[in-house]
Amino acid sequence: MDTAVVPVPLGDRSYAVEIGPGVRARLPEVVAEIGVRKVAVVTSRPVEEVPDPGVPYTVVTVPDGEEHKTVATVERICLAFAEFGLTRLDGVVSVGGGTITDMVGLAAALFHRGLPVVHLPTTLLAQVDASVGGKTAVNLSCGKNLVGVYWQPQSVLCDTDYLRTLPDREWTNGYGEIARCHFIGAGDLRGLPLEEQIAASVRLKASIVTADERDDGLRHLLNYGHTLGHALEHASDFRVRHGEAVAIGTVFAGRLARALGRIDDARADEHREVVAHYGLPLELPSDVDTERLIALMRLDKKAMSGLTFVLDGPSGAELVTGVREDVVATVLDAMPRSGR
Ligand SMILES: NC(=O)c1ccc[n+]([C@@H]2O[C@H](COP(=O)([O-])OP(=O)(O)OC[C@H]3O[C@@H](n4cnc5c(N)ncnc54)[C@H](O)[C@@H]3O)[C@@H](O)[C@H]2O)c1
Ligand SMILES: [Zn+2]
C-alpha cells in the first residue's frame, strides 16, 4: 500500500485524511486547493520537519504536552497569527502530536472567528484519533478538555515517516486506541501493516463522526475502554498514559460485559488477547483502589444515569447505563494487579 485516502463526509465540511510515508509533501497542493494566500504553521517539532506549504508562511513554535494545552498557549498562538498578519483569506497548519492539533485547531477556530486548518499529526495517537473528527479543546486547571469547539480541518496528512522518531511509550499510547477499534467495528487489525491499521482506525472514526459529529449518540462508541481509562489516568496522577489506560479499560470492559452476561468467556478473553498483542498493559496498578476508581467513573461525561460504559454485546458495542456499582466493584477487584 502506498497512500490510503479516507474520506470524512460531512457535507460542505467534508475532507480527506491521507495516510502514508511522505504524505507531508502533499501540503502545497492541499494549501493550493483550499486557496489561502499565506499560512501560519504551528509546531512543537524541529522546523526541519515542517514542509514548505508553497505559499508565504511563518513557523510558530510552541511547547506541547498536557501542561501546555491551555487557554494561555492558544492566546500565544493567536498573538503570533496577529503578528504575522493572518487575515480571513489565510490559513493555519499544525505539525505535532494531539496536544498540538487540539490547540491549533482551537486557535484556528477562534482567530477571526474561524480560519481553515490542515493537520499534520506526528504521533500515532494523533494520526489514528486526535487529528480526525473536529473536536478541539484545551485543559483548565480543574479538568481536561473543558474548553473547546468543533472545528473540522480542511485536510489531514498522516505522514507515517514522522513516526520514525517516536519513543516506545508514544507507540503504546497510540496502539491503545487502535486496540479498542477491534471491538467497535474495525474488525481484527492484528498483523496488518501499520499504514493499514492507521487507515482502518481512521475509517472507523470517520464513519462514526459522520453519523454523529456532535457526540449526541453513536460517537460514544469511540469511548470504548475509556470510562475506566479516564478514571485510571486521574487516579494515577497521569502516570498511566491515556493509551495504556484505555488498554486496561478495554480488558476491563470485556470482563464487565462477561459479568453482565452480555458476552461469553471466549469473547472476554479476546479483549485480553488483542490488548496483549499490541504489547499493552493488562493489569491495574496495585496502588489504585476500587472505591476511588468508581468515584471517578461517576464523574464520567457519559454517566448521566448511573455508571455508564460502552460494552460489547450480542449486537455489538453499545452504551449501557445504570450499571450496578457492586458488579463494577467485583469486576475491578478481580482484575489482575501489577506492582508498579
Ligand atoms: N480531539 C480529539 O478528538 C482527540 C482525540 C484523542 C486525543 N486527543 C488529545 O490528544 C492529546 C494526546 O496526544 P499525543 O499523545 O499525541 O500527545 P502529545 O502531543 O503530548 O505528544 C506526545 C509526545 O510525543 C512527542 N512527539 C510528537 N511527535 C513526535 C515525533 N514524531 N517523534 C518523537 N516525539 C514526538 C511530543 O513532543 C510529546 O512529548 C491529548 O491532549 C488528548 O486529549 C484529542
Ligand atoms: Zn482516547
The pLDDT tens digits of the residues spanning 192-209 come to: 999 999 999 999 999 999
pLDDT band at residue 182 using 50, 70 and 90 as cut-offs: very high
3-state secondary structure of 174: helix
Percent of the chain whose pLDDT exceeds 90: 95
**What is 224-338's CATH number?**
1.20.1090.10
What's the 162 CA to ligand 1 centre distance in angstroms?
12
pLDDT band at residue 1 using 50, 70 and 90 as cut-offs: low
Give the span between the Cα atoms of 146 and 154, in whole angstroms: 24
- Please name the residues in contact with 205: beta carbons below 8 A apart, sequence gap of 6 or more: 128, 129, 132, 133, 222
- Please name the residues in contact with 321: beta carbons below 8 A apart, sequence gap of 6 or more: 304, 305, 306, 308
Section 25-36 average pLDDT: 98
The pLDDT tens digits of the residues spanning 252-263 come to: 999 999 999 999
Give the span between the Cα atoms of 220 and 212, in whole angstroms: 9
Domain range 4-166, CATH architecture: 3-Layer(aba) Sandwich (3.40)
Q: 168-181 and 194-211 are packed helices; what angle lies between their axes, rounded to 10 degrees?
A: 50
pLDDT tops 80 at residue 340: no
Domain boundaries, the chain: 4-166, 224-338
pLDDT tops 70 at residue 54: yes
Section 176-194 average pLDDT: 97
- Please name the residues in contact with 249: beta carbons below 8 A apart, sequence gap of 6 or more: 225, 226, 227, 228, 229, 232
Nearest CA to ligand 1 atom 34: 166
Give the span between the Cα atoms of 330 and 259, in whole angstroms: 9
- Please name the residues in contact with 273: beta carbons below 8 A apart, sequence gap of 6 or more: none
pLDDT band at residue 67 using 50, 70 and 90 as cut-offs: very high
pTM for this entry: 0.96
What's the 113 CA to ligand 1 centre distance in angstroms?
25
The pLDDT tens digits of the residues spanning 68-121 come to: 999 999 999 999 999 999 999 999 999 999 999 999 999 999 999 999 999 999
Give the span between the Cα atoms of 50 and 217, in whole angstroms: 37
Nearest CA to ligand 1 atom 7: 130
The pLDDT tens digits of the residues spanning 236-290 come to: 999 999 999 999 999 999 999 999 999 999 999 999 999 999 999 999 999 999 9
Q: 265-277 and 242-259 are packed helices; what angle lies between their axes, rounded to 10 degrees?
A: 170
Q: Which residues line ligand 1 (CB under 6 A)?
A: 44, 64-66, 69, 96-100, 102, 122-123, 125-126, 129-130, 133, 135, 145, 162, 165-166, 170, 173
Q: How confident is the model at residue 339, as a pLDDT?
A: 75
Q: Which residues pair with 311 in a beta bridge?
A: 318
Question: Nearest ligand to the C-alpha of residue 146?
Answer: 1
* Residue 323 cell numbers, joined: 450499571
pLDDT tops 80 at residue 4: yes
Print burial letters for 202-238: b (CB count within 10 Å at least 16), e (below 16): bbbbbbbbbeebebeebbbbbbbbbbbbbbbbbbbee
